[in-house]
Amino acid sequence: MLLNDVRRLASYLVFIKNYIMKLNEKKVAILATNGFEQSELFEPLKALKNEGATVDIVSLEKGEIKGWTDVNWGKSIAVDKTLGEVSVSDYNALMLPGGVINPDILRTNTKAIDLVKSFVENKKPVAAICHAPWLLASADVLKDREITSYNSIKDDMINAGAVWKDQSVVCDQGLVTSRNPNDLPDFNSKFIEEICEGQH
């Protein structure tokens, strides 16, 4: 009798856990390559997984990509899928970590830009932090959109047609942007909220 009670309780706890997790059955792609700002990948990754999301690290090649922290190379993370293996229909949302090196490499890659553009055109949530809005500018999706970014690329954003704001997080119809790692709590919270809402 006691064993059955324990099994019932375990089953109930799994049900409750699944019920309170906001992103169960949601899939999110994090597009990155070498030189991503370490905290801007790992902290959103943790926040998304804590809410039950399935998250794929998408990059240019298989293997691992290495982060950047302060003035040195940081932790590495395994790549789950290459750009050639994914499409917008595979995911509910896209996240773009910053760092200077990472988005500067990705914005010269046609497949990366096409993927970013397809998420925006399909009105699926996209989150970009720090220098990652460079990818949005290269994808030509910023016309009249309210965003923020790292301060040093503010002019790039305005020249791409964006309405730039100096706020910890700016959201415009599913497009979530933040300025730097200090904004990560607001960034993560808003991105999760937008994924819950779905297509905009």
10 Å Cβ neighbour count for 103?
Answer: 31
Could you tell me which residues are beta bridge partners of residue 117? Answer: none
Query: In this structure, are strands 93-96 and 27-31 parallel, antiparallel, or unpaired?
Result: parallel
Catalytic residue among 130, 171, 196, 200: 130
Interhelix angle for 184-197 vs 38-50, to 10°?
40
Residue 16 vs residues 5, 11, 24, 47, 155: alpha-carbon distances, Å: 16, 9, 12, 19, 47
Q: Is 200 a catalytic residue?
A: no
Q: Which of 131, 171, 196, 200 is catalytic?
A: 131
Element (H, E) at 11: helix 2-20
130 as an active site residue: the answer is yes
| Locus of tokens 């460079």 | 134
Q: Looking at the annotation, which residues are catalytic?
A: 130-131
